A and B are shown apart, each in its own frame.
Chain A
């Protein structure tokens, strides 16, 4: 076992897959000579060479398009979006081409598109987005959002091995702030489509993912200490396909549920989850399904405003209290 940061875990996962399977290669802006804007691929070009670690022009559409083509020809590309915000440049490729390729032309398209999402780093509106909602309703894609170092490694491996396109949204705030003990050998793979109970509880459930898992855990601890509440936290890990069974199980267990995500409120993933809970677990609800999300605004530059707009532990605690006393 060794202590490993979230970023290092991701790097390990990428490295192990590249060693395991020579069809795996990485492409993106500054991933090669520079080692990646956040140093995720540091040292890779030395180990794997410039045919497997490719510095691309600044064109996300081209990056994804090239990856798709390579995938058709049997390769296993991992395309990096330097900041996940830029994935919107590849929206057409992803939704019209990549997601539909198997359906339209019986052509497998096993690409991974990964990049750092999320805020709390004073990055402003172009370097802090959470784009999952934009792709949630695109059939043919998969979306994973690791919250822990273990899942950062496990999910990148699973994504690379998956025969279908997977969007892998890592969170930049977690890169160096999360440290965990991970086994040094063995093949650590997290199955796609499986949620994890991050904290067991009986009074109410928080369904969440990515960096919000940590805020939810902080809130749960505070609620236990100050209110005597036993809060369950469910880390979804995969958004598409979502682990409906795990969500239902927690609703049936506590009968009070809130959904927390960093993305904005309107059209965010929480609405979809709330609808599913309503459809499948209405009879188990002892309170309305509540949400904690970012405000519906582009992310401000000013630190005070960013903190105001994004969900904080205090917001989660406040809504949890409302839920508990309903």
Chain B
């Protein structure tokens, strides 16, 4: 129930008051909206005034014959629930009316449906606010969408024999989009996680190698006092990938110590300029740039093995391993060979930031052709990283620090000087990369870093 004021209307711009000439209804009468309920007389015009709302005339405040200023409340109508809801409803009286169903039908700007519904809702259609599809298992629209996605995705799933519910979705309400399912299929299915979940370890074919020694998987057993924790999905994927990689590639690691003094100087000199442009300039940035250059000159390091064939990748997509609280993830800088140092630094910062905030897209953790890992950031002198399948090489960057180095002066004498040094280690797949290939690559890489061009910053 609500009370609606009936006021003395302003019948013309210059009119300031009106006389209530006659009541057409009495207290207790039912009135319909727009039905005349009293007559007024003003100096310009006499008129019948309609009820602003349907209901019951509850109170008369101004008797016949009295003159009052405009906007004075002359009566009160009490409305009932749901009564007097007009069809058009625009600027309608404030009927408390139920209207549970109809979302404001007259709301101009009928835009798109979207709350959860996969059902496109027209302005006046009932479903809107809380759609509970009356299915026996009372699945919500969001759940249904997550399970069944859209016609196109269902079609692709059916054609490829893929179960939609196993694919991480990045669409509305977490549903699987066309991009998600196509990316999933391209990545060879099961092991690849979606990016949004930071499922990390790149696209891996499922390790099919049978476990050694037939009978079953050997596993550790807990003792009293141990704490057993189930692996997270990303942990499982990483775990599987690591052994798979070791079993697949013939890993060899070789080490090159690189004098980073020049790079350090260039970095110090240009850091501020970069920061002004919103980008952090790091040692790793220089290394990625040099690697991108050298991969073009040593394509066998930017390749993959397909049984008895070598695939020389057309793109140079460099993955940078990022250690997150919840696991390892390798976002990829696509087309790194086409970027300047600035472009690379910018891409690195952006990917790292989004990796930490779980905002990577699926195609940003896929299709890498070479990986760089940075154990040095934790202080390690050098590492022996495991190759990120299906690539054939991975570069580890050791700690960058001041170390003594023997240098030969012009006159042939030797001196020991402190220089900024780092140990680079490269693990490569000896199935297709020979020591000489790796060494030539590393040698050129070392040279580029030690002679990094001024104008390349």
Interface residues of A (CB under 8 A from B): 255, 258, 265-266, 271, 274, 282-293, 295-297, 308-309, 315, 318-319, 322-323, 325-326
A290 vs B122: C-alpha distance when bound (angstroms): 9
For B112, give its contact among A255, A283, A290 (CB under 8 Å). A290
Cβ distance B180 to chain A, nearest Cβ, rounded Å? 10
Interface residues of B (CB under 8 A from A): 90, 105-114, 118-120, 122-124, 150-153, 155, 171-172, 177-178
- Max chain B CB contacts within 10 Å: which of A255, A291, A296? A296
Whether A326 contacts B171 in the complex (CB less than 8 A), given A282-B151, A287-B150, comes out as yes
Query: Which applies to chain B's interface (DSSP): helix, strand, loop or mixed?
Result: loop
CB distance A326 to B172 under 8 Å? yes
CB distance B172 to A325 under 8 Å? yes
CB distance A286 to B153 under 8 Å? yes
A318 vs B150: C-alpha distance when bound (angstroms): 21
Query: Which applies to chain A's interface (DSSP): helix, strand, loop or mixed?
Result: mixed
Q: Which residue of B lies closest to A288 (CB)?
A: B120
CB distance A266 to B150 under 8 Å? no
Q: Which residue of B lies closest to A281 (CB)?
A: B151
For A265, give its contact among B110, B114, B150, B153 (CB under 8 Å). B110
Residues on B with C-beta less than 8 A from A282 are 151
A233 vs B233: C-alpha distance when bound (angstroms): 42
30 residue pairs of the A-B complex, CB under 8 angstroms, read A255-B178, A258-B112, A265-B110, A265-B122, A266-B123, A266-B124, A283-B151, A283-B155, A284-B152, A285-B150, A285-B152, A286-B150, A286-B153, A286-B178, A288-B112, A288-B113, A288-B119, A290-B111, A290-B113, A292-B111, A295-B109, A296-B110, A308-B108, A309-B108, A315-B109, A319-B112, A322-B111, A322-B112, A325-B172, A326-B171
A326 vs B177: C-alpha distance when bound (angstroms): 8
CB distance B110 to A295 under 8 Å? yes
Residues on A with C-beta less than 8 A from B153 are 286
For B122, give its contact among A266, A292, A315, A318 (CB under 8 Å). A266
CB distance B112 to A325 under 8 Å? no
Cβ distance A206 to chain B, nearest Cβ, rounded Å? 13
A323 vs B178: C-alpha distance when bound (angstroms): 13
CB distance B106 to A296 under 8 Å? yes
Q: Which residue of B lies closest to A311 (CB)?
A: B109
Cβ distance A283 to chain B, nearest Cβ, rounded Å? 5
Residues on A with C-beta less than 8 A from B120 are 274, 288-290
A325 vs B313: C-alpha distance when bound (angstroms): 32
Cβ distance B142 to chain A, nearest Cβ, rounded Å? 13
A319 vs B112: C-alpha distance when bound (angstroms): 6
CB distance A296 to B178 under 8 Å? no
A288 vs B145: C-alpha distance when bound (angstroms): 12
A228 vs B442: C-alpha distance when bound (angstroms): 38
Cβ distance A231 to chain B, nearest Cβ, rounded Å? 16
- Max chain B CB contacts within 10 Å: which of A287, A292, A295, A318? A287
CB distance B111 to A318 under 8 Å? yes
Cβ distance A301 to chain B, nearest Cβ, rounded Å? 15
Whether A291 contacts B151 in the complex (CB less than 8 A), given A296-B123, A326-B172, comes out as no
